[in-house]
Amino acid sequence: MASRAGVSQALVSLIETGGGGGSSLRTWMRLAVAVDSELRAYLEEIPGAARPRDNVHLKNQELVARLTTAAGWEVKPEAALATRVDRSPAADLLLERRRESALIEIWDWFDDVGAAFRSWDRKLDQVDRLRAARGMEEGVSGCWVVRATRRNRSLVRDHRTLFRARFPASSAAWLAALTSPEGLVPGAAGLLWVAVQGDRLFPARLA
């Protein structure tokens, strides 16, 4: 990494241990490129204003919640998926409409796709258990909403076979299900993009 970025190993070690605050923006950008990543900085619009660390994630949650509420869904953000709340995985958004449920997971950035797949399976299973406890049919499905950054789109494109296997449902059908009162929830999982600006959802083509 140091060699690719053209910096010393000592500097990389310093940054890895939290001592990179004095490094230039140019150095940070070179390090990001060295690990095939992107450097993104979020600047405050108002001096001294404090925004939550997950501000981008919240913005995307808000967009999906607003669109689905308008389509008649009851939205449950950060819903606990087990009776023991302290040990329960949480859904980014759990949607319920009539006797339908949909699990929505919003991804801004992936650090371990395999772990994300496994976590998704566990959460779907938990939603099925919750529905069964309420006398409702199992077999719930859901949708990933992924931020359409260049890195994420490249990742999905490079591993489209894996993503297509995990998310075989029509992306357009999922978009209709979430945004239209008449839309029917597909029986399989799907994947949608959310614009980098966090202002719209659009279908992902995995073929």
- The total domain count for the chain is 2
| Rounded average pLDDT over 31-35 | 79
67 or 13, higher pLDDT:
67
- Residues 91, 164, single domain; the answer is yes
Report the pLDDT value the prediction gives residue 46, as an integer from 0 to 100.
Answer: 53
**40 lies in a domain?**
no
Are 120 and 27 in a shared domain? Answer: no
Contact 202, 155 (CB under 8 A): no
Q: How confident is the model at residue 191 (pLDDT cuts 50, 70, 90)?
A: very high
pTM > 0.85: yes or no: no
- Which of 87, 86, 88, 61 lies closest to 76, judged by CA? 61
Question: Which range of residues forms the domain containing residue 28?
Answer: 2-34
Residues 123 and 157 in one domain: yes
Q: Give pLDDT, residue 84.
A: 57
Each residue's pLDDT tens digit, 73-119 = 999 998 888 755 555 578 999 999 988 999 999 999 988 999 999 99
